Chain A
C-alpha cells in the first residue's frame, strides 16, 4: 500500500494544465513541422508555417498556443494499492485545474449550467475519467480540449453489416462536415465498439496516443493508414483553404461490443492536440 497526498495531485494537475497549453508534445510538434515542409498548396504551406511560428512564440513568451485553452479533461489511472490521503480526489483535481488556469493565465471557458450559461470563472469543473488498475502508481493525464473541434465530433450507431466500409464512410463524413470549422489540420480520434458512451470515451483516449504510434492491432492499423490517406485526398487542407494536409493522424481505439451493434465515435481535435501525462 502506497500513500499519495492530494497536495501532490493538486500541484501536478496545476503544472500539467499550464504545460499542456503552452507546449505540444514532441510528436505533435514534429508532425506539424513535417507537414509544413511537405504541403504543396502555397497558402496551405503559409498557414502551416504560421502554426510553427505560433508554437515557438507560445513557448518563448508563455502565451497559450490557442486562446481556447479548453475544458480540462483528466484521465486518472489509480493503482488499486494506492491510498489517497487529504481531500476527496475529485476536489483535489478541480483545485489543481482552478490554480493552473488562474496562475497560467489560461482562459476560463466553462459555464455552470448549459442553458443559463454563467461562467464559473475558474474553468472548473474538469471532466474526469477514473480507471482502477493494478499496482501502486497514480497516472494523471490532462488533455485540455477546445470546442471548435469538439463541436464537430459525432457518434454513429452503426450496424454490424456496415463493416469496415461503414466505419470508413462515417469517419470521412465527419471529417468532411467538420471542414474548416475544426481548425485543420486535425487529429481524428476514433472509438470503435463498446456501447454509446464507451465509444466516445475511447475516441477521446485515442487523441492522447502518441501520434507516431499506430494501433497494435494489424487490421485496425491498416484502417488508420487507409483513412489518413483518404482524408488527405479530400483537399480540405490547412485552415480549410485547400491542401493535402487535412489530418495529421487517425487514431482508432477498440473495445468488445454487443452482437447487435457497432458503435463508432469520431472525436475531432484541431492541430492543438494537447495532453500532458505524469506518473506519480
Chain B
C-alpha cells in the first residue's frame, strides 16, 4: 500500500505501517552510520545524552558524497544496516521510531523493534543520485570530525522507502522471496 508519512513520527503511526508498504517520507530525519553509531552508543552507555533527540525520530544509515556547489548534498543512498545491529537496540530503547537502510537485520534488532515500536525501512541501494533529489536541506549537527560519517539533520520531501520489517514481526525479506517464487509456480 502506498502511504505518505511525516517525520518525526509518533509510535501510533509507526504501528500502522506494514511490511510491504511503499512509503514517502517528508519532514526531518537524521543520518548516522558506523562511526557515529559507535560514538553515540558509547556516550549513552556512560550516561550522556545522545547528540539529538531520538524519541519519534528516524535515522537514515547514510554517508553521502560531498555536495558540489549549488547542491544540498551529494549521492545519498542507504548503507548496509546489519553493521548497526549492535547499536540499534539501545537507540530504540531511547525512543528511536524508524531506521532506513538496506539488508537483513539481526533477530535481536527485529525483536526490539516489536517491543519498542520501531519500523525498518529499506531505500533502494545504489540509487544515491536519485535519492539525493528528495533531500532539500542538510546540516551537520554532531561529530563533524567524522566527515561523511558525521550526524546530519536532513529535510526530506517524499523520500521513497519500503517497509521491510514492521512492529508486528513481519519481515519482507523473508516473505517477498517466497511469495515471488510461489507466484511464479502458479503462473
User: Could you list which residues of chain A lie within 8 angstroms of chain B, going by C-beta atoms?
Assistant: 40-41, 43-44, 47, 50-51, 53-55, 57-58, 61-69, 105-109, 117, 119, 121, 148, 151, 179-183, 234-237, 239-244, 270-272
Contacts and interface: CB of A to CB of B under 8 A. Distances in A.
B129 to A, nearest CB: 4
Contact of B65 (A57, A107, A239, A244): A107
Given A64-B128, A66-B128, A241 B122 contact: yes
B169 interface: no
B76 A180 contact: no
Given A65-B129, A179-B104, A242-B176, 12 more contacts: A43-B162, A50-B130, A61-B71, A62-B68, A64-B65, A65-B75, A107-B75, A121-B147, A183-B126, A237-B177, A237-B180, A240-B177
Interface residues on B, range: 35 or more
8 contacts: A50-B127, A58-B129, A61-B71, A63-B65, A65-B126, A180-B125, A235-B181, A239-B125
A151 B81 CA distance: 12
A58 B124 CA distance: 15
A contact face: mostly helix, strand, loop, or mixed? loop
B66 interface: yes
A144 to B, nearest CB: 12
B67 interface: yes
Interface of B: 22, 35, 62-68, 71, 74-77, 79-80, 82, 102-104, 122, 124-130, 132-133, 146-149, 160, 162, 164, 172-173, 176-181, 184
A54 B173 contact: no
B180 to A, nearest CB: 3
B175 to A, nearest CB: 9
B129 A234 contact: no
Given A239-B125, A240-B103, A41 B180 contact: yes
Contacts of B35: 117
B147 A119 contact: yes
B173 A180 contact: yes
A57 B134 CA distance: 13
Contacts of B76: 67
Contacts of B104: 179-181
B61 to A, nearest CB: 11
